[in-house]
Structure 1
């Protein structure tokens, strides 16, 4: 639970564990959605998995598990304001969760921890199946049918590295059809894509 900025050697932070935990998480969720949704196509399964293991989803699970508080325990001599910002950062929380998954994987093996991972993400799996819409993919597929493509442009970036705010535009055939804002570039692009779909009169398909 040592943030890279707190470690003398970056390799001593949680980043190496984060790398491994990302793969362990993806495998657990991939098998869960494969088993649960037997009539879903490969494309739909990929969309569900992508949403479930997204940074936003991982950060939400990390918060539920109190991992932000655990991070504080390993902070050392860090200014309180900086410490609070880091411990609440979506990217940091998601990274710490993946590092924790890797740690228990190395200690106990995949078969023993897989049920706990799936249980922790159960609500996200159900939400992705029943409610989530991948607006960027829907827009890309809708435009592909007419031989048109979409491009995204970052118009504005505000805030410190751990608390960014992005403004992105979606352009189709040289015309701006959507404008989105979000705490990540991906989130801002999703909102821009949603507006572009609305402008084109396309009703997106839910996962």
Structure 2
């Protein structure tokens, strides 16, 4: 991989939370089979690995975060966090769509926005990080990306904005307000930073490749923070 291509992935690495010693691993994780002369050079094998690494890292995270929950409760949270839809949301927050390497046909049919493909790429990146930096590097990425989603992981699978609105209404508070604080990146690959404000509470930040994704991330961050605060107060 050339130096210029490394620099082109620097922003993505920053959002993921890992600077690759071997950038070719990240490049392979972003490569769809339609853009790979040899199938083994696509993301598919890394996805296989990353799926297993993700499961172990999330299980460890949940074991630490919920010491009083049963195996069944932890299993339900695990299933919600490692499902393909959640991985796709993480990929959107990372903004991987613009960096994906697709064949012309896949690109023309909207491959950069396909939820199943985004979920696969998320797992492939985790697998690539495992090979590049070991289990600790992969777990760091998983904790950074998935911790905000833990609060809602044992609930039904409502979106975080809906969950936060219901949380506020149940306490007699005004509807949460989302405020855009920054927009960066080129037009074809924008990156948004927002905060969500709830009456009487500190704002919570979120970011992503669209305002919708950033707002969802902010809502999830708010719920995770308040859930953690409640847990400390109960001890």
Residues 1:9 and 2:34 aligned together:
no
Q: Tell me, which stretches of 5 or more residues in structure 2 are unaligned?
A: 1-29, 159-235
- List per-residue Cα deviations over 1:7-27 (Å, max 9, x = no partner): 233222100000000011111
* CA distance in structure 2 between the aligned counterparts of 1:6 and 1:49, rounded to whole angstroms: 33
- Taking a change above 3 Å as real, the CA distance of residues 89 and 41 of structure 1, as seen in their structure-2 partners, is same
* CA distance in structure 2 between the aligned counterparts of 1:68 and 1:124, rounded to whole angstroms: 21
Count of aligned pairs: 129
Which 4+ residue blocks in structure 1 deviate beyond 6 angstroms? Answer: none
Counterpart in 1 of 2:114?
Answer: 89
Residues 57, 142 of structure 2: 8 Å contact kept:
yes
* CA distance in structure 2 between the aligned counterparts of 1:34 and 1:102, rounded to whole angstroms: 21
Counterpart in 1 of 2:55?
Answer: 26
- Choose from 156, 178, 193 the match for 1:132: 156
- List per-residue Cα deviations over 1:125-180 (Å, max 9, x = no partner): 11113x3269xxxxxxxxxxxxxxxxxxxxxxxxxxxxxxxxxxxxxxxxxxxxxx
Residues 1:54 and 2:83 aligned together:
yes
Aligned-partner SS, 2:31: coil
Quote how far apart the aligned CAs of 1:115 are. 2.4
* CA distance in structure 2 between the aligned counterparts of 1:79 and 1:52, rounded to whole angstroms: 27
Aligned-partner SS, 1:128: coil
Aligned-partner SS, 2:150: helix
Counterpart in 2 of 1:119?
Answer: 144
Residues 1:108 and 2:133 aligned together:
yes
Quote how far apart the aligned CAs of 1:4 are. 1.7
Q: TM-score, normalization: structure 1?
A: 0.58
* CA distance in structure 2 between the aligned counterparts of 1:91 and 1:10, rounded to whole angstroms: 18
Counterpart in 2 of 1:43?
Answer: 72
Pick the structure with greater CA Rg.
Answer: 1
Aligned-partner SS, 1:126: coil
* CA distance in structure 1 between the aligned counterparts of 2:40 and 2:98, rounded to whole angstroms: 22
Quote how far apart the aligned CAs of 1:38 are. 1.0
Residues 80, 157 of structure 2: 8 Å contact kept:
no
Residues 50, 123 of structure 2: 8 Å contact kept:
yes
Q: Tell me, which stretches of 5 or more residues in structure 1 are unaligned?
A: 135-207
Quote how far apart the aligned CAs of 1:123 are. 2.1
Superposed CA RMSD: 1.9
Q: TM-score, normalization: structure 2?
A: 0.51
